[in-house]
Every structure is written in structure tokens, then in C-alpha cells.
Structure 1
Amino acid sequence: MGNKQEELEAIVLLGSYNVVAITETWWVASHDWIVAIDGYRLFRRDRRRRKHSDIALYIKKWIKSEELSQKNSHDQVESIWVRIRDRENKGNLVAGVHYGFPVKGAAINKAFLL
């Protein structure tokens, strides 16, 4: 992790972003405490059978957010979708991150869109 995690945290905190999406995290599941960023809620999806294609979504804690279940949550489709509610609960916004593998583009896109 080291320097790259510190660099990510510095960029996120200095930019004061509300939502940050990341692909190819290369994180290890047993190190959740390392990837936490103060003031942000972390949503992540780690690939079970492959390394280095994990994805993550940071959303500021003050923003009402919940992960949406995926209808077609195949192992081959790497994506996270989160519903964000406005403060008055009058509307929703969906934010997400998707990692598509260049080699299997057509097959992944078909599974993703079904």
C-alpha cells in the first residue's frame, strides 16, 4: 500500500470530493483499515478469482447512501452502484463504478447490460 494509499488520501481530502471512484485497486481484503479515508464511507468489490481488478467507491459520510443490489451480479462483471438521496428525500441519484476487461469487452458488456 504505502505511498500510493497516502497519495490517494491526500488527493481526496485536499480536493474535498463528494464521490471518488477507483478501478484496479490492488487491495488485499484483510487490510480494510488501511484503505479507510476519514470522513468517507467505502464501498468496494473485490474480485474473488483474480488479483488487481478490484473497484472502490468513496462517498462522503454526510451523504445518505446505500449500495444497490445488482440483478446480474456475475463474477465477470465488476461494478458497484450506490443510491444517493438528497437531504429532503425528494430525489435520488445513482453513482457507480464499472471495470471492464479490455480482452473480454464484448462478453462483459453483454453480461453487464442484461
Structure 2
Amino acid sequence: MKKIEAIIKPFKLDEVKDALNDIGIQGMTVTEVKGFGRQKGHVELYRGAEYDIAFIPKLKIEVVVTDTMAEKVVSTIIEKAKTGKIGDGKIFVSTLEDIVRIRTGETGEAAI
């Protein structure tokens, strides 16, 4: 089982979500996050004053899938989240030892 975490631009969420639904992903967690990478933030003008925006708003999508689905999920996220500009984000893939569904007590792939 794999946990896939993707940091994406907020306006790409609907496109990514719909594409993941189309390939059979039934659940995901989305969190509003802030951070920076190589772009190191930017400067914005507000009422004539400059403000240094050090942390860029992003969204983190978390999906847990079987090993066989992981590659398809990653390629789908890349395809739908990519703009070709700096700040498109990152995808992290981790291996999970176990999963437990609290309501039923199911474990492993049955709990996904």
C-alpha cells in the first residue's frame, strides 16, 4: 500500500480531483498549506505598499492506494496539476505498513 502526498496549486484541485475519480480513487484528504521552494515567495503590492509573501498558499492532497494503482495515480496528478511554470509542486510516495478502518476494524487493502 502506498500513501501519495501531492502539493499542488489551489486552482488545479478540481481538475486533479475529477481525474482521480475517473480512475477509481474513492477518497482523498485535502489540506490548505503554505510553503516555498525555489521561488522563495514573491512581493505583492497592496494599497501602494509592498508586502513580501514568503509562504505561497498551496493544497496538499493525500491519497492511499494499492501498490498497483500508485503509478497511475502519480501520473494522473502530474498530468492534471502541471502548468509548466515554477511552483507546480511536488509528489511524495511512501510505503504504508498497515491501515485500519476504525468503524469496522478492517485492515490492509480492505480498509482502503
Structure 2-normalised TM-score?
A: 0.28
Structure 1-normalised TM-score?
A: 0.28
Give the number of the structure with larger relative contact order, counting CA–CA contacts within 8 Å between residues 6 or more apart: 2
